[in-house]
Amino acid sequence: EDRARSALRRAGDHALALNAYGSAAKFFGEALELSPSRDERPELLFCYGKALSRSSTPDEAVLLEALDAMSAAGDAERAAECRVILGELFWRRGERDVAFEQLNEAVATLADRPASYSKAYAFSTLSRFHIAADEAGPAVDVARTATALAEELGLDELRADAINTIGVARATTGDDGGLADLERSIEI
């Protein structure tokens, strides 16, 4: 079981990296069926929930279970990522207020913690949702924090996303400097 679970986990990670979300979910789900240890289960649940959330069959219950497991394990970073993914699910379902509750909670959880991928991801995603909600001011403020975190950690994809959000926010409010931000985002 251990070797099979490990192989399924690697296959799931590979499929997730290729954006093959349905396949990744299948691999992670099968790995969960092979009795992972208490230490391994939270991470597998997180990966399974993440893959499902991006597939055609998102499952809020899996993400909530992963959130509880990560919180119980003391992994604030992954717990915050669970909240971000839940926020995205709620947004897609048209539950704007609940989405922002999850995103704001993710950011609040990591606010006093050191720079990390999870923190940059939470801030970047929150900024994107502010711009989607036509809230340019908060979008720029949060995106600037995300940009600084991403630059510090060398996370080009998140840096490009955050700068893109700044550019969209500035351009939609009549600030022509937003176009330079958009160009910079594309260059990154």
Which pLDDT value is given to residue 36? Answer: 87
Which pLDDT value is given to residue 108? Answer: 97
Q: Mean pLDDT across the stretch 155-171?
A: 97
pLDDT tens figures, 95-123: 999 999 999 999 999 999 999 999 999 99
Report which residue type is found at 26: K
Instruction: Please tell me the pTM assigned to this model.
Output: 0.92
Q: Within 13 Å of residue 73, how many CA atoms lie on the same side as its CB?
A: 22
Cβ(121)–Cβ(88) below 8 Å: no
Which pLDDT value is given to residue 16? Answer: 96
Q: Mean pLDDT across the stretch 58-80?
A: 95
**How would you label 132-158 residue by residue, b for 16+ Cβ within 10 Å and e otherwise?**
eeebbeebbbbbbbbbebbbeeebeeb
Measure the CA–CA gap between 177 and 163, rounded to whole angstroms. Answer: 12
Question: What token pair was written down for 166?
Answer: 């700044």
Which pLDDT value is given to residue 35? Answer: 86
